[in-house]
C-alpha cells in the first residue's frame, strides 16, 4: 500500500453557488472532466446529499483505470463537500470553497492509500509518475470546469476565467 496526500487549489471566476452546484452534480462530471470515464449512482442519500454513494471510473494518463466509490459524509452548502473513498483507493476527499474577489477559490484535499497490491507496487516504484498523473488530471478538471460554467451561465464580460491551478502533495 502507498499513501498520497494531494492538495490542489483552483481559482474560478464564477460565483460560489455555481461552482458548488457543478461539483455536487458529479454524475455530469464526465461531460467536462477529461479522464473521467463513468460515474454511476449507487445510493441516493438524503436531501442534503449525505450518504449519497457513486461509483467512479477514471482512466489515467498512464493507461490504467482507477475504480472507486465515494460516499458523501458531510455537506455545508455552498462551502464544503466531504466524502470517503473505497475501492482501488481508500481514504478521504474534501472540496472546500471560498468566495474570493469576484470568484471562487476551490481547495481540494485527497488523502488516499492504494488498495490493490499492483497499484501499491506501481506507486512505490514510480511515485513521481503517479503524482504527475494526478496533477495533470486535476489541471484538466480545472480547465473543464471553467469551460462548463462558461457554457451554463455566461457572465457579463462573456467569459469565465481563472488563475492557474496549484497542486501539491
Look up cell 483505470; give the residue: 65
Tell me the per-residue pLDDT of 95-134, one tens digit each, with 9 for 90 and over: 999 999 999 999 999 999 999 999 989 888 899 999 999 9
pLDDT at 156: 54
Spatial CB neighbours of 152, under 8 Å, sequence gap ≥ 6? 18, 22
Minimal CA–CA distance to 126: which of 114, 138, 139? 114
Under-50 pLDDT residues of the chain:
158, 162-169
Cell of 127: 511515485
* 148, 12 contact by CB (below 8 A): no
Backbone Cα Rg of the chain: 16
Euclidean distance between CA atoms 136 and 79, whole angstroms = 25
User: What is the distance between the terminal CA atoms of the chain, rounded to a whole angstrom?
Assistant: 17
Euclidean distance between CA atoms 95 and 86, whole angstroms = 17
Domains and CATH numbers, the chain: 2-152 (3.30.530.20)
Spatial CB neighbours of 153, under 8 Å, sequence gap ≥ 6? 14, 18
pTM score of the predicted model: 0.88
Amino acid at each position: 500500500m502507498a499513501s498520497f496526500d494531494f492538495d490542489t487549489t483552483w481559482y474560478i471566476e464564477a460565483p460560489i453557488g455555481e461552482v458548488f452546484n457543478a461539483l455536487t452534480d458529479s454524475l455530469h462530471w464526465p461531460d467536462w472532466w477529461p479522464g473521467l470515464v463513468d460515474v454511476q449512482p449507487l445510493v441516493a442519500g438524503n436531501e442534503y446529499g449525505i450518504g449519497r454513494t457513486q461509483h467512479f471510473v477514471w482512466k489515467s494518463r498512464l493507461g490504467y483505470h482507477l475504480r472507486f466509490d465515494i460516499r458523501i459524509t458531510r455537506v455545508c452548502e455552498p462551502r464544503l463537500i466531504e466524502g470517503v473513498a473505497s475501492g482501488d483507493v481508500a481514504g478521504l476527499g474534501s472540496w472546500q470553497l471560498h468566495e474570493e474577489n469576484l470568484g471562487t477559490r476551490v481547495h481540494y484535499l485527497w488523502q488516499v492509500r492504494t488498495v490493490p497490491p499492483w497499484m501499491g507496487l506501481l506507486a512505490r516504484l514510480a511515485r513521481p509518475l503517479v503524482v504527475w498523473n494526478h496533477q495533470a488530471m486535476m489541471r484538466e478538471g480545472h480547465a473543464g470546469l471553467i469551460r462548463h460554467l462558461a457554457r451554463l451561465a455566461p457572465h457579463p464580460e462573456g467569459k469565465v476565467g481563472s488563475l492557474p491551478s496549484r497542486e501539491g502533495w
